Structure 1
Amino acid sequence: MKKINLLKIVLLLCSYAVFSQNNDKIKEYTSLSEALREPEKVLRLNLSNQNINLSNENWSKFINLEYLSLKNDHLKEIPSAISNIKSLKTIDLSNNDFTNLPEGFSNLTNLEEIYLNEEKNMNLPKTLSILSKLPKLKSLHLENDNLSVLPNELLKFKNLESLYLNNNKFKEIPKLEALDHLKYLDLKDNNINPELQDMKNLNFGFKINF
Structure 2
Amino acid sequence: MRNLYLRVFTICTCLIISCTKEIEADLITTIIEDDFEDVNNVLLKIVEDNPDNTLNWSTSLDNINNWEGLVIENNKLIGLDIENKGIKVLTPTINLLEDLTVLKLKNNELSNIPNELFDLKNLENLSLSGGTNLTVQADDFLPGLFSLSNLKELSLDRIGINEIEGVGSLNQLEKLILEDIPLDIIPSDLGQLTLLEELNFTNNNFFEMPEGFFRLINLESISLVNNKNLTTIPEGFGVFTKLDSLTITGSEGIQKFVSSISEATTLKKLDLSNNNIGFLTNEDGIIPDEIGMLSQLTDLNLENNYINSISARIGELVNLKTINLRNNKIMDIPMELGALTILDILDVSGNLMLNEIPEEVCKLQDLGAIIISEGECGDLRVSSEYGFNTTEVGVSSLFFIDVVLDAIIDPVFVDGDGPFDLDFGEIGFQVHEVNKEDVLNREDTQDQVLVTESATQQFINGTNNLSYELISPSVPNIDLQEGRTYRVRLFNTEFSNVKTYLPAYELMVLE
* 8 Å Cα contact 1:29-1:35 kept in structure 2: no
Question: Which residue of 2 is the match for residue 180 of structure 1?
Answer: 295
State the shift of 1:53 in Å. 4.5
Give 2:156's aligned amino acid: L
Give 1:38's aligned amino acid: L
Matched, 1:131 2:241: no
Q: Aligned match of 2:270 in 138, 163, 174?
A: 163
Distance 1:49 1:209, change over 3 A: farther
User: What is the CA–CA distance in structure 2 between the aligned matches of 1:170 and 1:123, rounded to whole Å?
Assistant: 11
State the shift of 1:86 in Å. 1.4
SS at 1:98 equivalent: coil
SS at 2:189 equivalent: helix
Q: Aligned match of 1:59 in 162, 168, 192?
A: 168
* Cα offsets for 1:83-129 (capped at 9, x unmatched): 1011111111222222221111111111111111223432424x1x1
Question: Which residue of 2 is the match for residue 191 of structure 1?
Answer: 327
TM-score normalised per structure 1: 0.69
Larger strand percent = 2
* 8 Å Cα contact 1:115-1:141 kept in structure 2: yes
Give 1:44's aligned amino acid: E
User: What is the CA–CA distance in structure 2 between the aligned matches of 1:162 and 1:55, rounded to whole Å?
Assistant: 28
State the shift of 1:132 in Å. 3.4
* 8 Å Cα contact 1:142-1:166 kept in structure 2: yes
* 8 Å Cα contact 1:106-1:133 kept in structure 2: yes
Structure 1 window deviating more from structure 2 (107-116 vs 25-34): it is: 25-34
Question: Which residue of 1 is the match for residue 148 of structure 2?
Answer: 38
* 8 Å Cα contact 2:267-2:296 kept in structure 1: yes
* 8 Å Cα contact 2:162-2:181 kept in structure 1: no
Larger helix percent = 1
Q: How does 1:92-171 map to 2 (within 5 A)?
A: 92-125=200-233, 127=234, 129-146=235-252, 149-168=256-275
User: What is the CA–CA distance in structure 1 between the aligned matches of 2:255 and 2:231, rounded to whole Å?
Assistant: 14
Question: Which residue of 2 is the match for residue 71 of structure 1?
Answer: 179
Distance 1:159 1:59, change over 3 A: same
User: What is the CA–CA distance in structure 2 between the aligned matches of 1:70 and 1:106, rounded to whole Å?
Assistant: 18
Give 1:45's aligned amino acid: L
SS at 1:93 equivalent: strand
TM-score normalised per structure 2: 0.32
Give 1:103's aligned amino acid: E
Question: Which residue of 1 is the match for residue 504 of structure 2?
Answer: none
Give 1:150's aligned amino acid: F
Distance 1:118 1:84, change over 3 A: same
Give 2:246's aligned amino acid: L
In the alignment, structure 2 segments of 5+ residues that lack a partner are 1-64, 82-101, 104-125, 129-140, 279-284, 305-325, 348-511
In the alignment, structure 1 segments of 5+ residues that lack a partner are 1-13
State the shift of 1:196 in Å. 8.0
SS at 1:104 equivalent: helix
Give 1:191's aligned amino acid: N
SS at 2:292 equivalent: coil
Equivalenced residue count is 188
Percent of aligned pairs sharing the same letter: 26
Distance 1:170 1:103, change over 3 A: closer
User: What is the CA–CA distance in structure 1 between the aligned matches of 2:186 and 2:162, rounded to whole Å?
Assistant: 11
Q: Which has the larger radius of gyration?
A: 2
* Cα offsets for 1:63-96 (capped at 9, x unmatched): 3211112222222210111110111111112222
Q: Aligned match of 1:29 in 127, 132, 152?
A: 127
* 8 Å Cα contact 1:43-1:65 kept in structure 2: yes
Give 1:142's aligned amino acid: I
* 8 Å Cα contact 1:115-1:142 kept in structure 2: yes
